[in-house]
Structure 1
């Protein structure tokens, strides 16, 4: 007989019963239990139920002592763990001994019975497997610091020795099966050296689904862990791998089973990333060990079901694992333990979110600027799914395209994570979960016409350019690698492109941000789909383009979301596109009518609900981004981070009034007055441009004692009654009552509409004669002017740039008559003209009083007046001046931040350069469009006057409104101004870039062409 077989105990039930009585003084019913090397009996006695183990004679005594010591340690340090407890023999020893039928000595152990049924006989729910992981974590944690010589034995079941399976391959009959095992052995050989660097401890080492028991009444509760015959000192992660290997047998989702166990173990005994990264391979290699040992021993163990019981399902599971992408399996396991699905995945998504403003547009214009709609892709019959066999859009697609035309939709969006039942091919069957399809879209689809160009938002290196010819494939597929500073590298995938890219791009080529990637392909070359771009990001840069999953399982969407984060932000899609909040437009309009002043106007016949501002854009509640060329309040851009930070930091520290000392108010006054001519040295702080102009009038009265005002026609200076009284734009229109006796209106010094017989060089002097006449009339009545007020560039009057010398002459006349000169810089100040800080400086004058507002706080309500010492001495007449909020610490912190940005980013220089660039473009348009009568501007204060006839200069009011509305439909905001509403008014933020300017120019070109076709 084989010597190995002689050592295996082979006692009859009666012989075992005799041993029980002899050594333990017990009698009862014995039932044999399956075992590989030992002989086990279930013993039911009056004192309880036990397991009688007769140990294989070949087992060294040190190993038996090891198990005994292990159980004793657990009893002392984790007595609540559901494991067997040793019953001493009558001699008091933990072990007894006897001689077997073959004359060899066997040791005997009696341990308590652990109640429950094998996990193998249950559904192995996620809850049960998580509980198993937790119990194993507690078990291994309890063994920390425990060691015994018997734990250091050489055992084929030691996962570190799994490479020995290669020597057993000859026992595997089928060549394809050997090849399967060799693939896993090759992977194991690559990772084996890393095992020595992992944490090691004494572990159970055989938590298979027959050694794990569940509660008879609750299959989700683990009631016991038995059979410590394979316990040894090994890598801690092997405990998880072994349990997962057996839990995955005949499981519909074996990696999900492994994830549940790993998650539970991690909760009790935190795993390390490097351990989890090896888990997939360790699960597989445990199965390789199992099937090769089984194959090598089959001839000797035909009657031992223990070895063969898991062989068939083990082969099945090995084939499943072989079909999986190991990196995806590892991502699932990492995520289950709370780690990133791929190292750095969350950092990539965070970096993109933080730097979204700096990304170049993916389309010709920023994607959010296009009117967009979700493509209803979930319906299998929907047109955007697949084209007809002829490669042309079918009738249903034509319906969709008609819908887009009727509703002004230019961009269709297929979102990340969308459930799509259209994925019906064999390629969409899950490799992780049985009888499951991959139905969740993991990319971002952008639907536009074939030939639409797409550009990389970031610098990139071309990884690959390839053609997928299979139906429903990607067609032309391009992978780019991005390595932005401060961000882990990631890959962007561009699918369904035209084949032209294959001759233009090569692997290894470097692309700068904004470089053309490709064009959306026709159905005949894009896999048979309606023209669109499938854009996808991968945070795992080791995946090839064809390995990146375009569609994933719903169960693992959280994993896929980290591996393949939503590309919406990368593409420039606003988050508001996907989810609306707050009241509907109709409800807001209704409530405004009920709750607010009825003459509070709303822009546009179809009002816009803006929910966010960012840089040069305003974003509405549908996620549509509008290039803001009109709202000059946000002077340095909407929600500028420097301003927001300064505001928040000061607000959380202190905000109070000016009766107390604070650094900010004097610091801001010092900085602000430093931007002005030396004569203007004293500042007063208020909350709005209207308040600033109101304070200016108080200063004027105190200094001159007069009321007479000289104001320009069609001017506007504020909302209070005394300012309405000096604003012809208000008092000469509907609801106005005309000028009051003290208000005298001078002609608008509009050079474009000056009489033809006036020499250009005399325009300033000739228009100033209007002021001279008004002063002469006052003086004839024995009066004189109190003040002259004018915007340094009249805005409401139509972006009118004063003729050279005008203010110099007018200021001379007014001062000679005893009046003061007020420069209203509420709209045009703070460097908007580019060449100077203040627009009045372009006229070579110094006002007595300057008022400022709007741009001063980048949207924060603040304003200021700066004047001369002489004027303030007159104002200091004993009456206190106090403003509750003017000059408060928060407002001054905001004002300082605005100045910091203007100076630090040279926004004046930017305004001048971009303004000149736009003026050149506008003049080029003027040469092609007779409707453009005049183009005027300085820096980023611009106007285009439209006329029906250049000779007569008759205003083209309808055309101007049509252009303004057309630009709005195309995502650009501008206004119309002037007495005839025929001047296109543009005042974009000072951060306006050349890219933004090109966007504006393109929209104006499209709109002018469209309006010309419509109006003629």
Structure 2
């Protein structure tokens, strides 16, 4: 460096002007410019053009000045539009001229174009300007790809790869703590960065994009207008260009990582960076600063104070201290995110896995979290009484406030959402280490508030990473970190804070927890940091962070980055997304509009109606995010919104939907599949849109075959909504609004064994109840008439889940057929494998009907229904009158029907219904032993009933108790109904995918509800 200073040119203005005229043929005004080792002049030529005349230091090797010349020529020839200095040739068309100073030193001269603009150092360095800088550097470096020159391989301390040399200059730094700070960066550099240089992309780069070498447009300070001073260009890692620019841009910047991110984003847009390059950027920024301050300290030692050398030292030290206080992984996450990469590798895949597999996760609480009556705990409001943060507050105040809140509101679960802005975080610990004069206010976990002692379980298998206790006020208390490594998913961590200290003696690092295992309990205020009892649950996709490094609260500016590093754990915890965003009309508005716009006798379930917005499997989710276990709506046979049904419907609808007058594969394929589930006698199908239409078609078939009208039906039966079906449905015509029994309708006794006369032997129930039908046939015969048909549900549903006694249908079918009538089985509610043991409930009676009707479950919610009959009856129906139903049997409906059958068979749902049904019946019978109100338990497969009585001896109906149990179950998140003439039978028909876990939940809720009702509540 001393040689450079001794050989620095010192020409006067006149001498420089003379050289300009001699070698370049230009005259004009010259103004000296600052330079450390060369001599530069701004030239305003007489013709108005502006240039820079550089008199090159005599000590500079020729190879370096040749490199500069070649570099400028390459840019001029390959990127002439780049706003950088461009060569102006000498009068002899050379790139350089030569002169000898009065001291005999040989100097070279170069004339380049002037690049207009204002130095970035004199601008505000807006984010837009820094991104523009990144784009300009990206263009510059991209233009140099493939260019090489021996002069680019020079040995410079400013080469980022040589930053380790700073260790040799540490002794020039006087302050011990400052040396230690630099030592930490140097250690990271030697261990984590330097070994990776050999694998990085390298090219010729500018290497000195400081804010005096970068120009902005004076008319648009957000746009970079030029890059000057290519004197430090060399062959180096590409990422060094970004690091150097970011190091200078971060000086005195309130958000240095944000500044670096803007530059990286711009550079990446022009010259795409690689993930492994960005992962080193934080350390390279720091090492440029380490190089700067150690070189400055060394030069002061040798040359004394030099304002030019020390001009950026103070802000460099300030920035180094900021970087030292940061978590490098957070800074790197911000830089990666700025370039469109994941904040950490695997982050998005882990979040996607949780989204895709959330249904298989076990409940974190005693039951699925979405089933609790939940409310928002507004920690965003600093005055909210749930926050106990003052030094004067007693820890038990928090618990008391929470319990009192729940008692008054009926809330079981309080939820503090991810991302919420919380001004309650006021301590020194929440000051941002990334942004000057900023605080961390955004909650990066999920808070679940319940009573102290509430047990918490692992939704997913895990390994314990750490168990520790933070004893500081407003800390985590007992804190557990778990590592999850599910198949086909990057590993991720979960953090469980504010727990009871009992876990410390029970768990240790390395322990394996299976899914469903106990993690811990919600702690009391005196052991959880002084908060109301709750769990702070957090996910970290960065598994290299320790529990205490995981950021529980983050800066709002980087919330999108934190969302990848610490994604919302709501789905992991089982909270429905609807809890956080309520959409659509209010309940009150919908009720008002229903009354104004719809038929007034369209009923609404429950005194307090539910607005469902989504169905998923066995669950229905309301507009407030509460999930209800659906044990009632048997329409969605294989579960709400089954993906196979949705896909089949969408694909066929996107291709074609038309009517049955045209040929299509689906209708014959479905008819073939459907009839294959039936006895061989039932071989002909007809398709309609609803169970009512199916029963209506069955009556048409019957009439054309028999020529008769007389109907035999069961008491309290219901078969559809059309008038002719209401006329044969005692449930309708005998109740309010009904017109009574028509002459052609004959009502038989419901064959309910539970209410059979006590003196009837059980083995004779079927025959005895069939006598009611025999009497009706005899009465018709006495009047010279005969039955046209017998129609019954194979398991009467509205009548109270009544299971027909053995032999009943055999006897009835025999009598009806002998009288010339046909036998119709209504399987609308009980068919399609619901009984588990058979496809069709009539098969449990060992009979074959003449006509079978089906609806509801056939399309899993899609409007599809069918009739299947014998060839003989079908032939009778073919009497010259066309049968046509516009939508019946259309390609979309048949595609849906096929999908339902596929799922039924593929997932063996009949077997599942049989096994889970037996499990539930056994559990209900155990309940019957505990609760006298349970008079009878009946069920087969997933068609279940519990009859409630006020006296087991008299079997008097307990209607009010049944209603209370039904409402109590609803309050606890389980949907069921009541049926029977006295509405005293609990009716359950859950989807066929009902699992043992679902069954256990139903059992627990029923048990809890019976206990509450017995105690006088609900």
TM range (shorter): over 0.9
2:823 maps to what in 1? 821
1:471 maps to what in 2? 473
* Cα contact 1:787–1:822 (8 A) shared by 2: yes
* Cα contact 1:383–1:394 (8 A) shared by 2: no
2:997 maps to what in 1? 995
1:67 maps to what in 2? 68
* Cα contact 2:5–2:37 (8 A) shared by 1: no
* Deviation larger for 186-195 or 765-774: 186-195
* Deviation larger for 462-471 or 715-724: 462-471
1:8 maps to what in 2? 8
- In structure 2, how many angstroms separate the alpha carbons of the residues matched to 1:101 and 1:250? 43
* Deviation larger for 99-108 or 12-21: 12-21
Q: Which residue, 973, 976, 991 being the options, matches 2:975?
A: 973
Q: How is 1:111-260 mapped onto 2 (pairs within 5 angstroms)? A: 111-189=112-190, 190-260=192-262
Matched, 1:85 2:86: yes
Following TM superposition, by how much is the alpha carbon of 1:669 offset from its aligned partner in structure 2, in angstroms? 1.3
1:342 maps to what in 2? 344
2:966 maps to what in 1? 964
2:46 maps to what in 1? 46
Following TM superposition, by how much is the alpha carbon of 1:16 offset from its aligned partner in structure 2, in angstroms? 4.0
- In structure 2, how many angstroms separate the alpha carbons of the residues matched to 1:203 and 1:691? 78
* Cα contact 1:387–1:394 (8 A) shared by 2: no
- In structure 2, how many angstroms separate the alpha carbons of the residues matched to 1:924 and 1:5? 99
Q: How is 1:447-486 mapped onto 2 (pairs within 5 angstroms)? A: 447-486=449-488
1:783 maps to what in 2? 785
* Cα contact 1:959–1:1015 (8 A) shared by 2: no
* Deviation larger for 656-665 or 9-18: 9-18
1:911 maps to what in 2? 913
- In structure 2, how many angstroms separate the alpha carbons of the residues matched to 1:365 and 1:966? 16
1:662 maps to what in 2? 664
- In structure 1, how many angstroms separate the alpha carbons of the residues matched to 2:386 and 2:36? 60
- In structure 2, how many angstroms separate the alpha carbons of the residues matched to 1:657 and 1:706? 31
- In structure 2, how many angstroms separate the alpha carbons of the residues matched to 1:926 and 1:101? 116
- In structure 1, how many angstroms separate the alpha carbons of the residues matched to 2:667 and 2:129? 66
Following TM superposition, by how much is the alpha carbon of 1:359 offset from its aligned partner in structure 2, in angstroms? 1.3
Change over 3 Å in CA distance of 1:420–1:1015 after alignment to 2: closer
Q: What secondary structure does 1:243 align onto? A: helix
- In structure 2, how many angstroms separate the alpha carbons of the residues matched to 1:619 and 1:26? 82
Q: How far does the alpha carbon of each residue in 1:9-32 deviate from its partner, in whole angstroms, 9 at most, with x for none?
A: 344555545544554455555444
1:515 maps to what in 2? 517
Q: How far does the alpha carbon of each residue in 1:662-693 deviate from its partner, in whole angstroms, 9 at most, with x for none?
A: 22112111111111112211111111111111
- In structure 1, how many angstroms separate the alpha carbons of the residues matched to 2:432 and 2:1000? 47
What is the TM-score when the length of structure 2 is the normalising length? 0.97
Following TM superposition, by how much is the alpha carbon of 1:308 offset from its aligned partner in structure 2, in angstroms? 1.2
* Cα contact 1:207–1:242 (8 A) shared by 2: yes
Change over 3 Å in CA distance of 1:435–1:992 after alignment to 2: same
Matched, 1:97 2:93: no
Change over 3 Å in CA distance of 1:1015–1:777 after alignment to 2: farther
* Cα contact 2:395–2:530 (8 A) shared by 1: no
2:37 maps to what in 1? 37
2:505 maps to what in 1? 503
* Cα contact 2:399–2:525 (8 A) shared by 1: no
* Cα contact 2:33–2:40 (8 A) shared by 1: yes
2:587 maps to what in 1? 585
Structure 2: runs of 5+ lacking an equivalent: none
Number of residue equivalences: 1016
Q: What secondary structure does 2:655 align onto? A: coil
1:559 maps to what in 2? 561
Following TM superposition, by how much is the alpha carbon of 1:404 offset from its aligned partner in structure 2, in angstroms? 3.2
* Cα contact 1:387–1:530 (8 A) shared by 2: no
Q: How is 1:751-770 mapped onto 2 (pairs within 5 angstroms)? A: 751-770=753-772
Q: Which residue, 750, 753, 758 being the options, matches 2:752?
A: 750
* Deviation larger for 579-588 or 975-984: 579-588
* Cα contact 2:773–2:812 (8 A) shared by 1: yes
Matched, 1:685 2:681: no
Change over 3 Å in CA distance of 1:203–1:933 after alignment to 2: same
Q: How far does the alpha carbon of each residue in 1:766-812 deviate from its partner, in whole angstroms, 9 at most, with x for none?
A: 11111111111011111111111111111000111111111111111
Following TM superposition, by how much is the alpha carbon of 1:91 offset from its aligned partner in structure 2, in angstroms? 4.5
Q: What secondary structure does 2:1015 align onto? A: helix
Following TM superposition, by how much is the alpha carbon of 1:496 offset from its aligned partner in structure 2, in angstroms? 1.0
- In structure 1, how many angstroms separate the alpha carbons of the residues matched to 2:323 and 2:84? 32
Matched, 1:634 2:640: no
* Deviation larger for 83-92 or 267-276: 83-92
* Cα contact 2:396–2:525 (8 A) shared by 1: no
Following TM superposition, by how much is the alpha carbon of 1:941 offset from its aligned partner in structure 2, in angstroms? 0.6
Q: Which residue, 302, 306, 309 being the options, matches 2:308?
A: 306
Q: How is 1:267-282 mapped onto 2 (pairs within 5 angstroms)? A: 267-282=269-284
Q: How far does the alpha carbon of each residue in 1:409-447 deviate from its partner, in whole angstroms, 9 at most, with x for none?
A: 111111111111111111111111011000001111111
Q: What secondary structure does 2:843 align onto? A: helix
Q: What secondary structure does 2:1016 align onto? A: helix
2:385 maps to what in 1? 383
Q: Which residue, 258, 263, 266 being the options, matches 2:265?
A: 263
- In structure 2, how many angstroms separate the alpha carbons of the residues matched to 1:22 and 1:297? 38
Q: What secondary structure does 2:592 align onto? A: helix
Following TM superposition, by how much is the alpha carbon of 1:880 offset from its aligned partner in structure 2, in angstroms? 1.6
Q: How is 1:404-483 mapped onto 2 (pairs within 5 angstroms)? A: 404-483=406-485
Change over 3 Å in CA distance of 1:513–1:396 after alignment to 2: closer
Q: How far does the alpha carbon of each residue in 1:533-584 deviate from its partner, in whole angstroms, 9 at most, with x for none?
A: 1111111111111111011000100000011111111111111111112111
- In structure 2, how many angstroms separate the alpha carbons of the residues matched to 1:897 and 1:87? 76
* Deviation larger for 869-878 or 611-620: 869-878
- In structure 2, how many angstroms separate the alpha carbons of the residues matched to 1:393 and 1:1006? 32
* Cα contact 1:382–1:396 (8 A) shared by 2: no
1:526 maps to what in 2? 528
What is the TM-score when the length of structure 1 is the normalising length? 0.97
Change over 3 Å in CA distance of 1:266–1:416 after alignment to 2: same
Change over 3 Å in CA distance of 1:474–1:429 after alignment to 2: same
* Cα contact 1:417–1:441 (8 A) shared by 2: yes
* Deviation larger for 508-517 or 745-754: 508-517
- In structure 2, how many angstroms separate the alpha carbons of the residues matched to 1:274 and 1:137? 17
1:872 maps to what in 2? 874
Q: How is 1:580-659 mapped onto 2 (pairs within 5 angstroms)? A: 580-659=582-661
- In structure 2, how many angstroms separate the alpha carbons of the residues matched to 1:13 and 1:305? 24
Following TM superposition, by how much is the alpha carbon of 1:926 offset from its aligned partner in structure 2, in angstroms? 1.1
* Deviation larger for 75-84 or 117-126: 75-84
* Deviation larger for 9-18 or 76-85: 9-18
* Cα contact 2:442–2:556 (8 A) shared by 1: yes
**CA-atom RMSD in angstroms:** 1.8
- In structure 1, how many angstroms separate the alpha carbons of the residues matched to 2:953 and 2:987? 22
* Deviation larger for 79-88 or 136-145: 79-88
Q: How far does the alpha carbon of each residue in 1:706-754 deviate from its partner, in whole angstroms, 9 at most, with x for none?
A: 1111100000000111110110000000000111001000111111111
